A = this chain, B = another copy of it.
Amino acid sequence: MTERANGAPLDPSPDLSVSLGPIVLDHPLVDASGTFDLLEYARRYDGDYFADFPYAAYVPKTVTVDARTGNPAPRVTETPSGMINAIGLENPGVRAWIARLGEWAHLRQPVIVSVGGNEPEQYAAVVAALDEYLDAAAPGAAPSIQGYELNISCPNVSSGLQIGADRAATAEVVGACREATSRFLLAKLTPNVRDVTEIGAAALDAGADGLSLINTLKALVLDRDTLKPFLGNRTGGLCGPAVKPVALRMVAEVAQAFPDTPIVGMGGVATGLDALEFIACGATAVGVGAANFTAFEAPQRILAELREELAARGFASAADARGVALSS
């Protein structure tokens, strides 16, 4: 792929930078929460991983106010062109999490912290604890946390119905966090709804600055020997290339309904073309989830491919490609 169909030379390097609300990203790719552990990567890298960090922003695994041990094993398995997981938001709780921030304080990229909980107060408590810590932290003592992603869409925690499947509950969680912080707020939407724009509207009305989607599709896999539910938590969340067509549809719906809203699109991204498709459907930034499990260098490869795919189509920038699938 070294020249365009019409023979014109390729734009050697399209401008990949995008603005996710107030957050400036070097390129559109971020990791999807729960699928990429910065410190694990750093310890497996021969060079300076912090200098070579591949994503434009880092979204760590969801943090809750109290420690959670997560669901019983097994927690993951493969499905046709995808996988299912029921981790159950295992995390050490926000206090212990904050205590380790020094270990990656030197990350240059912006950080968007994924926040979980069962009730509005629990979400707000995490946001407040982090805001408080950040305000007090000495310069250079903490990573550059610039926003929060409210995970109201995890199908693997037993707080009854998902918050993100209900407009009122969504508004309450977002509203409580909006009161707690002036930082950038994303609401992460679940695909397990009839109309994703209804929940999106509730989140935006309650003060969210942008939307991330999709989280996983609630799903069931059986053990082929026993015919019992395979996962320890019985059901889990489906993701990977299998779900990409559903994710693209939902991102397009949200982008059409809320044209000026920052959107992080994700679900099944495995190649640069996949990422470009999300951008074409209106995503500002693109999350890479399960593809991280397929190779260490997946983000680098996807980014290189995205650059090529943009150039091959004559786009001068990633921003130019945004929403091109939506215009008729």
**Distance, CA A262 to CA B304, complexed state (A):** 52
Chain B contacts for A246, CB-based, 8 A: 217-219, 238
- In the complex, are the beta carbons of B222 and A248 less than 8 A apart? yes
- In the complex, are the beta carbons of B227 and A280 less than 8 A apart? yes
Chain B contacts for A195, CB-based, 8 A: 161, 165
- In the complex, are the beta carbons of B277 and A222 less than 8 A apart? yes
**Distance, CA A313 to CA B225, complexed state (A):** 8
Of B193, B194, B227, B273, the residue contacting A321 (CB under 8 A) is: B227
* Chief secondary structure at chain A's binding surface: mixed
Give min CB distance, A260 to chain B, whole Å. 21
Q: 9 shortest A-B CB distances, which residue pairs?
A: A219-B245, A242-B242, A80-B81, A81-B81, A220-B249, A80-B241, A227-B280, A220-B248, A165-B194
Interface residues, chain A, with chain B CB atoms under 8 Å away: 79-82, 84, 161, 165, 192-195, 217-222, 224, 227-229, 235, 238, 240-246, 248-249, 252, 268, 273, 276-277, 280-281, 313, 321, 324-325
22 contacts between A and B (CB under 8 A): A79-B244, A79-B245, A80-B241, A82-B242, A84-B245, A161-B195, A192-B194, A193-B193, A193-B194, A217-B245, A218-B246, A218-B249, A219-B249, A220-B249, A221-B248, A222-B280, A222-B325, A227-B276, A227-B277, A227-B313, A227-B324, A238-B246
